[in-house]
Amino acid sequence: MIDELLSKELETDALQEIPINSFSNDLEVLKKLRLRYNDELHKREVKIYEELAESLFEVRLGKYLEDGKGGGSFDSFVFELLEKIKELYISLLTGNLVSNNERVMCKVTKKVIVDGRTLDKGDIAFLPIRLVVPLWIAEYIIPCKLVDN
């Protein structure tokens, strides 16, 4: 269960590899628990699991930020996402984005509708950075770097 995952994670410096199938049976139990019961006691039990999950997230996030390794686990999507945010953050702060005030120049990589407008691959969008992140993660756009690494 999550408490075991957390204990193991706390015992080591490196990120533990946690494939999703290693706790899929536990997930079924928790799903049934959530569906079957609605009393205060079970709500508190669920709350404890949620707090454990949050702690696991924080511990693993801390470790990832420390050494940048996080592949092969059920939560690698978090680290991939963080990688993109980190890349954007560094580029923004070091003058490698084509930007104007809060808007960043992006190239459209596949057909997408933004603000009701159809944009084709190769078109250009100047968007607020808060919109750039989700669209980039969904692989609809790429922020334009002044100099590609």
Partner 1 sequence: MENFIKDPSPQDALKLIESLYAERDLCLSIPYTPDAILFSGVIMKYFKGDFFISFTENCETKLIQRGKDRWISHRGAEVYIGNSSFSSTLPLSKDDLTSILAGVYSSVMLERRRLTEWELGVVEMAKDFGVSLEKNLKIPSYNELPLFLSLMLSIDPYLQGLTGSRENSISLVKEIGLDETTKLGELDESHLNTLLYRIMMLVTKLNPKATRDDVISDKVFYMGYDLTEVAMAVSFFLDNVGSKALIQLALTPSVLEILVEKTRERLAKGFTVGQVYQKGKFYVVETSLPSPMLLSIVAQQVEGKPVKPVVIKLGNEYYSSKYFLESAEEGLIRVDIKD
Residues engaged in binding partner 1 (CB under 8 A): 98, 100, 103, 105, 114-115, 117-128, 131, 144-146
Report the nearest approach of partner 1 to the CB of residue 89 (Å). Answer: 19
Select 71 or 122, whichever has its Cβ closest to partner 1. Answer: 122
Nearer to partner 1, 5 or 112 (CB): 112
Residue (84 or 103) nearer to partner 1, CB: 103
| Coil vs helix vs strand at 121 | coil
Q: How far is the CB of 87 from partner 1 (least distance, A)?
A: 17
Shortest distance, position 86 Cβ to partner 1, whole Å = 21
What is the nearest approach in angstroms of partner 1 to the Cβ of residue 136? 15
Question: Residue 20 gets which letter from DSSP?
Answer: G
Residue 39 DSSP SS3: coil
Contact 52, 7 (CB under 8 A): no
Label each residue of 53-111 as H, E or C.
HHHHHHHHHHHHHHHCCCCCCCCHHHHHHHHHHHHHHHHHHCCCECEECCEEEEEECCC
